[in-house]
Amino acid sequence: MATLQNSYEQQSFSVIHPLDDVREQKCSSEGLGRIRMTRPVRISLAVLRGYLVAMTLMLGYYVLDLAAVLHTIR
C-alpha cells in the first residue's frame, strides 16, 4: 500500500506597485535602421490602412447624419 506524503510549505509573496518599483533601463532603438518588411506584411498593412480610412469615413458620415448636416445640404 502506498503512503501519501503531505509536505506543504507556505510561501509568501510581496506585491510591489509599479510606481514604487525600481526603474529599469530601457532599450535604445538608436542605430537600428529600418526594418525590412516582406510583401505579405506590406499588403496587410495597406489593407489595414484602407480599412481604417473607410471606418473613419463611415463614422464621419454617421456623425454628420446625426447632426442633421446632411439633410440641409440635400
Note the pLDDT of residue 54. Answer: 98
**pTM higher than the cut 0.85:** no
Cell 498593412, residue located: 45
- How far apart CA 74 and CA 68 sit, in angstroms, is 11
Grid cell for residue 26: 530601457
| Mean pLDDT, each 10-residue run in order, the chain (74 residues) | 68 85 84 88 97 97 87 69
Query: Buried b vs exposed e over 30-50: b needs ≥16 C-beta within 10 Å?
Result: eeeeeeeeeeeeeeeeeeeee
Residue 1 is predicted with a pLDDT of 56
